[in-house]
Amino acid sequence: QVQLVESGGGVVQPGGSLRLSCAASGFTFSTYGMHWVRQAPGKGLEWVAFIRYDGGNKNYADSVQGRFTVSRDNSKSTLYLQLDSLRAEDTAVYYCANHQGYFQHWGQGTLVIVSS
Amino acid sequence: EIVLTQSPGTLSLSPGERATLSCRASQSVSSSYLAWYQQKPGQAPRLLIYGASSRATGIPDRFSGSESGTDFTLTISRLEPEDFAVYYCQQHGSTPPWTFGQGTKVEIK
């Protein structure tokens, strides 16, 4: 069955960087667009980034534009999110999800805490 | 950007009762591209409904979705204990950005 497993979260100081990964299995990763969605503690869901199946098109939320970079390695069935210039308001659980217009399958999430 | 407004913020009901959750879009949602998700504490969201009224694989038929113009409704016909959770709507027609409503919590009365 479809599995999405995020990793790479942790505690980082303001201004720091992290790289999140999402390992996919159970479907043909190279034919699906992929998303990152985040959820701050006690808050709702916020879409963060999208990458087309071939990496040829990327979109970002205004809140992360210029600071976050989404990428993928189809040979490894893995999605990435590079988080730079992190701020306290980036503290959240980050989920990856596959794209069907809607978010069909979700990973369990990885927690990023930005704190000094 | 399409803004989705969910109401009520919290719905207090008893098992066996009917739940009606609302999601209003700030403008027309292309081709009824509206999805609903369920999220339980400590878990990832789960897709329930897409295309406004199509149930995702494995979703019980007590969950149904409907639309009327820019108003969308998720109905749970008879609440089971496992249905008490937070529900989010999301539009996937006019993207990017993909936008979510702020959520409705269905709690046990």
Residue range B74-91, pLDDT digits in tens: 999 999 999 999 999 999
Beta-carbon separation of A45 and B47 below 8 A: no
The amino acid at residue A73 is D
Question: The tokens of A81 are what?
Answer: 């999110």
Name the average pLDDT for chain A.
97
| Residue that the structure tokens 């992929």 belong to | A34
d(CA A61, CA B67): 27
User: For residues A113, B1, B2 and B6, what is the CA-based torsion angle, rounded to 10 degrees?
Assistant: 30
**pLDDT in the model for residue B52:** 94
Q: What is the pLDDT of residues B89-102, one digit of tens each?
A: 999 887 899 999 99
**pLDDT in the model for residue B99:** 94
Query: What is the average per-residue pLDDT within B15-33?
Result: 92
Beta-carbon separation of A108 and B35 below 8 A: no
Distance to chain B for A92, nearest Cα, Å: 13
Termini Cα distance of chain B:
36
* Interior angle at CA A6, CA A14 and CA A97, nearest 5: 105
